[in-house]
Amino acid sequence: MNFKNLFAVFAVLGAIGLLSVVASAQSWQAIDCADSSDVFDCAPTAGGTASYSIIASPSSLNPVTSNDTASSSIYEHLFGTAGSNPFATLDFGILGSAANGLDPRAASVIEVNEDATVVTYTLRDGMTYADGSAVTADDVLYWYNDVVYNPNLPNSSTSAFVCSDGNPFALEALSATQLTITCNAPFRTYTGLAGSQFVISRQMALDLIDVQGIATEDGVNGPRAVQEFMGLGVDIDMLTGGLGPFVINEFVSDQVGRFSRNEAFYGVDSNGTQLPYLDELEVIIFPTNGQNLAVSNFLNGQTEWLGPRPGDLSTIFSQAGSGFEVNGDVDNGTPAAGTAWITPNQDDPDPNLAAAARNQTVRRALSLAYDRTAAVFNVLLGLGTPQYTMTTLSGNAGTTFFLGRDNTCDTMINAGLATADNCVGGVWSLETGLSLQVNKLPDPNSTPEAAQHLGCLVDYDACVATAGELLDSVGVVDTDGDGIRNIPADFDGLGNPGGNFDVVVVTNAGNTTRLAYSEIACSSWTPLGISCQAQEKAFSTLVSELLGGTFSGYIMLGLTGGDPGGGANIYQCGAALYFWHLSCDPNATDGLTAQDPSSAAVEAGFDEGFASVTIPDAQVGFDKEQIAFLQGEPFMHLAIPNALFAVRTDRLCNHGRTVNGNTHLKYRVDIAGNEGSCSTN
């Protein structure tokens, strides 16, 4: 379990010739070399370097305050996160009741009381940070109480690490190596979320605050910073208070991050080899033209793994076999976890756009008119699925909680969308040439809005006509004959002056897929009489403007995926990533800061699923959340590509089809002693 982030877009052999040493602390066995069913292999020989690229500049090196995956692509090798590298976490909760699904990592023992309201963690004996200092329960308490819950450090973690009643976790150190985290009531994801990160050195934080001369105030567990202390200008030589498999040696925010193995890392394989297997790791940063440059680096052999675009596959496969090899499951047919969306801004500095964003009928019209078939067919080349809600059929979480998980062809046929001739074996073949698996689409019987959206896949022109009628119905019409619809003055009593419906859709520079999504928005809305331009901006700038309330227009971005319970920092009014209405005040009952009814319905469904103890109860709640989203659409989802992942299998083993993940297990197959040793590729 992990909260969500904005993203910029992975035969058993004995130990022979091992080059590393075993940590003296009580180790975590990350891989069983004697278990032939294990999905990873053990490296006969450790060593070597691996590289990959990211397509945006990080905004911070602080895992608490950052909101973007460009940042996590740097810091999680040092500190870990539950989403990709759970090595530095107390535990990593997976699907199950609140008392199940616990996988000890930094904690050697995890105990949950009978009613699943108290979880007790016992830290591993002798565990140290990269600088050799001892790991204690006070470290965990400091990072929760005085960083996560620090009112001076706005962050999305605060709203994620809460009990089902909205109160923060109550933490108590029982000894130097044992602590408890308590909530008043149980819920399904509690224990996984409670221990999902922040086993980071308290002393490192205090040293950074001191050396930067940052003012402090009294906190729960010591001096608390009144401003950020791990920004891009931090002295990286001081970032040694992590439990991750690597330490950072070089960092230039728009160029590169270089790492070497953490000799104190507590993970081992069952042969006793200390992890990571790699000696060095390199992250190449492309803040502009990122996707094109990342592909070029991969093909030229400068990097070992890549998250390709659909259009890159033909080039990759044409070159594979003549100089390098790639994994056979580059496209495994599963939707990528996460979302891609365009959001209007209810707090837009332009009062006309703010008024239009608050009108549910306008939002509905824009979403119906967005050509998702073009997005899937032309941008994703058919390797993707139209998206309508925050959950996709991806991984265990999607299979369990996606609204259309039980769809069959009969579902679509009985709804009048498909026929027995064009829907066979769960695959719906449309006249456009697009073929879609029906269980990746929302249930058309769940709400009329779902059926209407799916109908756009059959007759898009009819949906455009309906969108125009919806805009007409609320008075968003061309009043001056210039061909552009006008947003009425005092629209819905909001006091705006009125004017042309003129929007700019902005996405992060270098992401050609998102730019194409933005261009489809404009080509879809221009025939409706809406003036629209697609533009690009640096990812860090865009995120800063989005979350700082200074951006005017529409933004095209995405969110990481996973268990829907990780959306506490998004779908609750007042949360840090409540990006379509940042001024939302959960205590307001009227005025511009009050939550609109459609968003309130989405939150109510989320809250029910989030607070549930069992999977069936959670399904009921999260189904309500997705239905409410389809009905109110506070922002619009577009399309999601398949989970594409390419790795040079002639160089690297244990990739696990993840970009950042498994860096403690990845190893080179092209160094002496490892030839032909990898069975997992």
For 123, 304, 467, 528, 658, the CA distances from 57, given in Å and listed in that order, are: 34, 20, 38, 36, 20
Compute the 3-state secondary structure of the chain and give helix, strand, coil in percent, each to the nearest 5.
30, 20, 50
Indicate if the pLDDT at residue 100 is higher than 90.
no
Structure confidence at residue 588 (pLDDT) = 96
pLDDT tens readout for residues 111-152:
888 888 888 999 999 999 999 999 999 999 999 999 999 999
Residue 108 phi/psi, 5° resolution?
-90, -25
For 91, 131, 178, 560, the CA distances from 135, given in Å and listed in that order, are: 15, 11, 11, 30
- Residue 261, classed as helix, strand or coil, is strand
pTM (predicted TM-score): 0.86
Q: How far apart are CA 509 and CA 581, in angstroms?
A: 24
Structure confidence at residue 440 (pLDDT) = 94
pLDDT tens readout for residues 563-612:
888 888 889 999 888 999 999 999 999 999 999 999 999 999 999 998 88
- Residue 200, classed as helix, strand or coil, is coil
Owner of token pair 């086993």: 199
State the CB neighbour count (10 A cutoff) for residue 351: 17
- Pair type for strands 486-487 and 49-54: unpaired
**162-197 exposure pattern, b = at least 16 Cβ within 10 A, e = fewer:** bbbeeeebebebeeebbbbbbbeebbbbbbbbbbbb
pLDDT tens readout for residues 312-337:
999 998 888 777 899 988 998 888 88
Single-letter code of the amino acid located at 15: A
Indicate if the pLDDT at residue 14 is higher than 60.
no
Strand order in the sheet with 339-343: 531-537, 502-508, 554-559, 339-343, 636-637
Q: How far apart are CA 157 and CA 4, in angstroms?
A: 9
Q: How far apart are CA 252 and CA 56, in angstroms?
A: 12
What share of the chain in percent tops pLDDT 90?
A: 67
- Pair type for strands 280-285 and 499-500: unpaired
Domains of the chain: 10-55+244-330+645-681 (3.40.190.10), 86-242 (3.90.76.10), 339-641 (3.10.105.10)
Note whether 197 and 79 are within 8 A (CB).
Answer: yes
Indicate if the pLDDT at residue 99 is higher than 90.
no
Indicate if the pLDDT at residue 96 is higher than 80.
no
**Average pLDDT score, the chain:** 89
Q: How far apart are CA 146 and CA 119, in angstroms?
A: 20
**pLDDT band for position 356 (cuts 50, 70, 90):** very high
pLDDT tens readout for residues 630-640:
999 999 999 99
Alpha carbon 500 to chain centroid, angstroms = 35
Q: How far apart are CA 681 and CA 679, in angstroms?
A: 6
Structure confidence at residue 86 (pLDDT) = 52
Note whether 440 and 403 are within 8 A (CB).
Answer: no
